[in-house]
C-alpha cells in the first residue's frame, strides 16, 4: 500500500512537472525546474529523462527542456475525442447568437472542471475561458450540475471547500436540471448551466452561459434557462464524441 | 537509488498505459487495460485515477476510460512549440514540389525519432508517416544524422541494435552533412537526410526525403542531396520554434 502510494506520488510529481510548461513559459533549464517544483535536482533530471523518452518533453541541444513533439500524437487524440461534431458546434453557436452570451461546455476532471468547447458571445464584455483550462468545481453553475453525478468523495471535498450549502444546491440543480450562480467564483461574473446526459441519463457535461452579473438579471435568467434547456437536450441527443 | 528507480518505473508505467489509447482504440474498460498492460487491476485503477485528475485520461460516466480533455491544453502547447512558422513550411513544401518526394522533419526523442512536420510528395506511391509517430533510431538516413549529436548511451544502444557498421555511418553522415539509406527499416523504402542545426551548429533535427527505392537511383540521389542541403540550411537559418 505504501509502495502504491509512492507510485501514485511519482506520477503526480511527473505530471506536476509537466504543468510548469505553459504558453507563457515553454522552455526551462533543469535547475529552474527543480527550483519551482521544489524537487531535488536529481529527481527532476530523472523525471525529465523519463518524460523525454516518451515525447512528453524534449531536451534541446542546449540542455534546456521544452514540450515534446510526442505531444502532437496526444493533440491528435484529444481532437478526435473532444472536438465537437459540426452539428453539436452549431447548437453551441446558435445558443451564443440567441443569448448573446458566451457558451461553455464543461466536463468534470477529477476534482476540477475543464472547458472542452466554447462559442463566444458577440458582446465586448465576455466570459473568457480557454479550452482545456481547469476551473474550480466548488463554485459556479456548471459545477453544481457536474457534481450531481460525481463520486461521493469528490462531492465531499467540494462541500468542505464551499460549505454545506453546496450540497443543497447540487440536489436542487439535479432536480431542476438547471443551476445559476452570481459572483461565486469571480466577483461580477454570473452563469447558468444545464446538464448534458448520456443515453442512460447520467450527467456527462454541463452546458453553460457565462457573462457579467449585470446581464444575468431576474427577467433574463428565465429566458436563458429555456434556451439552455433546449440546447442541452439537443447536445445530449447528438452525443459527445468522447462518450458515444 | 532503489526508490528513485521505482519512481521512474511508475512514471513509465503511467505513460505506457496512456500509450494504449490510440485513434483506433480510444475507449477502454479498466479490466481490459489491466489485461493489455499486464499490470494488476488495482494498479491500473490507481494510475487511471491519477491520470484522470490531471486530465490526461477521462473516466466516462459508464466507467470506461478515454483520453482526457486536459490533453487539449497539451495540444495547444505542442502546436505552439512544434507547428512550423509559415516560412519554414514553405521551404518544406517547395522541396516536396521540386523533388516530387515526401519531405519529413524528424527530431530525436530519447531512443527513437519522431516526425514533427511533413510535406507530402505529389506521386501516388508515397512515404507515409504521421506527425507525432515514433520511428526507429537505429535505421534510416534521418537516424544517422540525428545520432551525430546524440548522447553516447543512445548511440551505443542503437549500434548494439544495428551492428558496428552504424557507428561508421554516423561519422560519415556528420562529416558529409548527408546520409542515404535503402531498405534499412522497410524493404523497398529509401531516404536521404541532412541536418538542421541550431545557432551553435548542434544537430536539432533531420530534414529527410523518403520514397520508393526505385526512385532513389544513383543519378537522382545527388540531385536530392543538393536540394536537401539548401533546404536544411534555410530551415536552420529560420529556426524551429521549439529551439529558438
Region A15-27: mean pLDDT is: 90
> Does pLDDT of B172 surpass 50?
yes
Alpha carbon distance A242, B28 (integer Å): 12
**Quick one: average pLDDT of A17-21?**
91
- Flag the least confident range among B71-75, B142-146, B197-201: B71-75
With a cut of 60, say whether residue B33 has pLDDT above it. yes
Q: Which of B81, B83, B130, B146 should we substitute to test contact with A (largest number of A Cβ atoms within 10 Å)?
A: B81
A128 or B205, higher pLDDT: B205
Q: Of A151, A153, A148, A189, which is closest to residue A166 (Cα–Cα)?
A: A148
What pLDDT is attached to residue A112? 92
pLDDT band with cut points at 50, 70 and 90 for residue A5: low
Q: What residues in B contact A54, CB-CB < 8 Å?
A: 12, 15, 19, 109-110
Q: Do B75 and A78 touch (CB under 8 A)?
A: yes
| Pairing of β A57-59 and β A27-28 | unpaired
Lowest mean pLDDT among A128-132, A181-185, A236-240, B86-90: A128-132
The answer to whether residue B3 scores a pLDDT higher than 80 is no
Identify the CA nearest to B236 among candidates B210, B205, B209, B192. Answer: B205
Alpha-carbon gap: A186 to the closest alpha carbon of chain B (Å) = 22
Mean pLDDT of chain B: 91
Please report the domains of chain B, with CATH numbers, ordered by start residue: 2-69 (1.10.10.10), 76-238 (3.30.450.40)
Return the pLDDT at A108: 93
Flag if A78 and B67 touch (Cβ within 8 Å): yes
B92/A3: higher pLDDT: B92
The average pLDDT across B135-164 equals 95
Nearest residue on chain A to B81, alpha-carbon basis: A67
pLDDT at B236 over 60: yes
pLDDT > 60? residue A135: yes
* A60 neighbourhood in chain B, CB within 8 Å: 198, 204, 242-243
State the smallest CA–CA distance between residue A154 and chain B in angstroms: 11
To the nearest whole angstrom, how far is the Cα of A20 from the nearest Cα of chain B? 12
- Higher per-residue confidence, A127 vs B236: B236
- Whether residues B50 and A15 touch (CB distance < 8 A) is answered with yes
Q: Closest Cα of chain A to B132: distance in Å?
A: 5
CB burial of B48-78 (b: ≥16 within 10 Å; e: otherwise) equals: bebbbbbbbbbbbbeebbbbbbbbbbbbbbb
Cβ–Cβ of A77/B19 closer than 8 Å?
no
Q: Which residue of B has its CA nearest to A110?
A: B53
pLDDT digits (tens, 9 = 90+) for A50-91: 898 888 899 888 889 999 988 888 878 888 888 899 999 999
Instruction: Return the pLDDT at A23.
Output: 84
Contact call for B110 and A53, based on CB within 8 A: yes
In the predicted model, what is the mean pLDDT of residues B100-112? 93
Predicted confidence at residue A2, as pLDDT, reads: 53
Which residues of chain A are within 8 Å of residue B23 when distances are taken between CB atoms? 76-77, 80
Q: Residue B1: is its pLDDT beyond 50?
A: no
* CB-closest option in B21, B109, B242 to A77: B21
What proportion of chain B, given as a percentage, has pLDDT over 70?
97
Q: Which residues of A touch B204 (CB under 8 A)?
A: 60-61
If you average pLDDT over residues B3-29, what whole number do you get? 84
pLDDT value, residue A169? 97
> Would you state the cell numbers that stand for residue A189, as one nine-digit string?
461574473
Q: Most A CBs within 10 Å: which of B2, B6, B9, B11, as the mutation test of the A interface?
A: B11
The closest CB to that of B69, out of A52, A66, A82, belongs to A82
How high is the pLDDT of residue A29? Answer: 96
SS (H, E, C) chain A: CHHHHHHHHHHHHHHHHHHCCCCCCCEECHHHHHHHHCCCHHHHHHHHHHHHHCCCEEECCCCCEEECCCHHHHHHHHHHHHCCCHHHHHHHHHHHHHHCCEEEEEEEECCEEEEEEEECCCCCCCCCCCCCCEEECCCCHHHHHHHHHCCHHHHHHHHHHHCCHHHHHHHHHHHHCCEEEECCCCCCEEEEEEEEECCCCCEEEEEEEEEEHHHCCCCCHHHHHHHHHHHHHHHHHHCCCCCC
Residue from B31, B24, B30, B18 nearest B57 by CA: B18
Amino acid at each position: 500500500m505504501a509502495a502504491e502510494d509512492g507510485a501514485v506520488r511519482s506520477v503526480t510529481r511527473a505530471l506536476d512537472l509537466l504543468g510548469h510548461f505553459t504558453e507563457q513559459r515553454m522552455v526551462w533549464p533543469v535547475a529552474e525546474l527543480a527550483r519551482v517544483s521544489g524537487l531535488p535536482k536529481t529527481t527532476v533530471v530523472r523525471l525529465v529523462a523519463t518524460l523525454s523518452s516518451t515525447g512528453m518533453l524534449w531536451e534541446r541541444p542546449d540542455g534546456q527542456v521544452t514540450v515534446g513533439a510526442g505531444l502532437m500524437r496526444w493533440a491528435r487524440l484529444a481532437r478526435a475525442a473532444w472536438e465537437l461534431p459540426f452539428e453539436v458546434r452549431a447548437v453551441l453557436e446558435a445558443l451564443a447568437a440567441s443569448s448573446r452570451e458566451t457558451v461553455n461546455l464543461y466536463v468534470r476532471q477529477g476534482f476540477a472542471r475543464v472547458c472542452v468547447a466554447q462559442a463566444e458571445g458577440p458582446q465586448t464584455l465576455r466570459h473568457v475561458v480557454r479550452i482545456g483550462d481547469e476551473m474550480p468545481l466548488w463554485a459556479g453553475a456548471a459545477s453544481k450540475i457536474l457534481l450531481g453525478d460525481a463520486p461521493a468523495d469528490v462531492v465531499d471535498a467540494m462541500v468542505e471547500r464551499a460549505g454545506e450549502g453546496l450540497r443543497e444546491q447540487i440536489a436542487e440543480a439535479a432536480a431542476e436540471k438547471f443551476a445559476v450562480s452570481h459572483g461565486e467564483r469571480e466577483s461580477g461574473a454570473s452563469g447558468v448551466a444545464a446538464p448534458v446526459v448520456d443515453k442512460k441519463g447520467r450527467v456527462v457535461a454541463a452546458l453553460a452561459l457565462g457573462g457579467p452579473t449585470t446581464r444575468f438579471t431576474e427577467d433574463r435568467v428565465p429566458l436563458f434557462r429555456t434556451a439552455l434547456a433546449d440546447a442541452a437536450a439537443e447536445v445530449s441527443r447528438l452525443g459527445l464524441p468522447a462518450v458515444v
